[in-house]
A = this chain, B = another copy of it.
Amino acid sequence: MKTIDVCLSPELIHLFDLKGKLVVIVDILRATSCMTTGMAHGVKAIRPFADQAACREMKKQNYFLAGERNGIKVEDFDLGNSPFDYMQEEVKGNKVAVTTTNGTVAIEKSAEADEIVIGSFLNITAVAEYLKNQDKDVIVFCAGWKGKVNLEDSLFAGALVAKLKDDFESACDAPLFAQAAFEYTEASLLEAVKNSSHAKRLNGMNIHEDIEFCMKLDEYKVVPVIRDGEITLSN
């Protein structure tokens, strides 16, 4: 049987052997939710950058620039990090260069993986079905918050493990732990995440609507993957 493992923080990723594996990147608030939304709304491709200056350079190649640092939009960029920014008509058919605090760091740390998939609650069932059809062990890689474990990414990992329990066995304890926390929280998922310290930290920035949107299940059926350094659709 294929195995599934969960990495709860980028600070733990060196303990996982990514070679030959399929890695699911998770940064629910809000990088991977934005990427999913963008791809579902017709963005042509999204190129992630850990470095803000390198991201800015892409303007010359007619990329839209998107990004935040510590939850705040970079001043001269076109888009912030709200999923609603990615629904704008003018972005459709164009490419976006994005930099975020945690999400792009996780993507850069996954370079050794065989394949990288973008996961969010917005496309969780589509991602789960995609994973079932690949012949690869899976590592769910939570972006966390500045190295620390956060609730929304961890609960997504648990939700994905629960969806895949008949097709994958846990490679270690973290999937069992995350699944238990998800099962306990499932009936009040939005409320739990609203009360998390991460959400409270972001609450001062008026992202109440973003959180509600990012916690919606199966809003989209797209499965964004990374090919040649850019996020594109799997099919």
Chain A 136-150, CB within 8 Å of chain B: the 1/0 string?
A: 000000000111111
Task: Provide the bound-state CA to CA distance between A184 and B183, in Å.
Answer: 7
Closest residue of chain B to A176, judged by CB?
B151
CB of B177 within 8 A of CB of A148, answer no
Give residues of chain A (20-75) contacting chain B, Cβ–Cβ below 8 Å.
none
Q: Return chain B residues, CB-CB under 8 Å to A155.
A: 177
Q: Does A92 contact B (CB under 8 A)?
A: no
CB of B198 within 8 A of CB of A15, answer no
Q: Does A11 contact B (CB under 8 A)?
A: yes
Chain A 145-180, CB within 8 Å of chain B: the 1/0 string?
A: 111111100110000000000000011111011101
Given contacts A8-B8, A11-B12, A149-B177, contact A170 B197 (CB under 8 A): yes
Q: Does A102 contact B (CB under 8 A)?
A: no
- A15 interface neighbour in B146, B176, B192, Cβ under 8 Å: B146
Q: Does A9 contact B (CB under 8 A)?
A: yes
Given contacts A12-B11, A181-B180, contact A173 B146 (CB under 8 A): no
CB of A147 within 8 A of CB of B198, answer no
Q: Return chain B residues, CB-CB under 8 Å to A178.
A: 181
A191 to chain B, nearest CB (A): 12
A184 to chain B, nearest CB (A): 4
Task: Provide the bound-state CA to CA distance between A176 and B197, in Å.
Answer: 9
Q: Return chain B residues, CB-CB under 8 Å to A192.
A: 176, 180
Q: Does A234 contact B (CB under 8 A)?
A: no
Chain A 88-110, CB within 8 Å of chain B: the 1/0 string?
A: 00000000000000000000000
16 examples of A-B residue contacts, CB within 8 angstroms: A8-B149, A12-B148, A12-B149, A145-B173, A148-B174, A149-B172, A149-B177, A151-B173, A155-B177, A173-B196, A176-B196, A177-B181, A180-B181, A180-B192, A181-B181, A183-B184
